Amino acid sequence: MGHRKITMQVIADTVGVSKYVVSKTLNSKPGVSEATRKKILFAAKQLGYLKEGTNPNQGLNNEKVEVENGYILVFLPNQHYQNITYTYWGTVFQGVSASIQSKKAGMIVISNEMDLTKKVDLTNLIGIITLGTLDEQTLVALSDYGLPIVMIDHEDKMMRADSLFMNNRNGVERVTDHLIGLGHKRLAFVGEVKYSTSFFDRWLGYRTSVEQAGLDRSSTLMDIEYNDDMEIAMQEEINLWKRNKVEFPTAFVCANDHIARRVINLLDQNGYTCPKDVSVTGFDLLDEEEGKKPSLTTVRVLKQMIGQRAVERLVWRLQHSEYPSEKILIAGDMLLRESVDVPRNR
């Protein structure tokens, strides 16, 4: 069977425009928006419509966007545990800031406390980088700027933006697989699943591991709101286990290091020692954990590098605006430390 002939109609169907608009674009006629023109030319190139010898970038505006002396808008979250005063996001922001400075560009920093309907000065503004979870109203306001966007630790199916994450799912899978390999058969995941995309992905990694090991029926989810009072909710869960004589987990897989340390402290108050009685794992490798005992088994998140990588991605996007948006996953190393041991015989 022969290959389908690529026509203007095929390109039109691919992009979702009329054949007339495709014709105007390919013949360099005016009246087509820049965004639509780039999509059509990109599709024509990918589908092989442009004849041999034709410049594959014909009609594309390949003039480089000047990064030096330009400004990047950096949007910071101001939610509890999601602001730059928190160790994690403060280090990510340092990476963003240092990378922007190294490119001799400027930076405008705003938070979700500001009124985004009053647009900032767009003079020399070249792109946007966001840190953390964003609400729908903020996403709409930022997209109205019409600039390339790179989102760290967040994504939205309705937005055309690049996103950057740690490989959260794989990281927790490896940690959970290690616990199961040590002989743990009753595990619990601790974390508010809907708190962020990363927490949800870490939960999925845990679920994948316990299901593949056939331990899903003996595993537990402590889907507890991530706030200053989460110990109260965890204690209520523990009390419920005791009343119902539920077998206590031998290992807790926590959504991050902050939760893991709070779990260790709460277990100690209930007479359980880590790791002698219960193993506990975290995620992120927070600086504030340095020197604490027992040292946490965790997944190293290269926080400053994530910030730098976001800036590099934004610069790349400025030169390749016709390409589809992408989700980038960065691998982290599993660090085996004192908080994990073989399960104690009960």
Q: Which domains does the chain have, with CATH numbers?
A: 1-62 (1.10.260.40), 71-165+304-330 (3.40.50.2300), 168-301 (3.40.50.2300)
**End-to-end CA, the chain:** 67
User: Peptide bond preceding 77: is omega within 30 degrees of 0, i.e. cis?
Assistant: no
CA-CA distances (angstroms) from residue 187 to 235, 247, 336? 17, 10, 18
220-222 vs 187-190, strand pairing mode: parallel
pLDDT over 70 at 113, yes or no: no
Residue type, 24: K
In tens, the pLDDT along 222-268 reads: 999 999 999 999 999 999 999 999 899 999 999 999 999 999 999 99
Describe the crossing of helices 87-102 and 303-319 by its angle, rounded to 10 degrees.
40
Predicted pLDDT at 46: 79
Distance CA 16, CA 9 (A): 10
Higher pLDDT, 245 or 34: 245
Predicted pLDDT at 285: 92
- The 3-state DSSP class for residue 113 equals coil
Structure confidence at residue 339 as a pLDDT band (50, 70, 90): very high
Residue 110, phi then psi, degrees to nearest 5: -135, 165
Predicted pLDDT at 48: 78
Q: For residue 286, which of 275, 296, 294 has the smallest C-alpha distance? A: 296
Higher pLDDT, 7 or 162: 162
Q: For residue 225, which of 89, 96, 107, 79 has the smallest C-alpha distance? A: 79
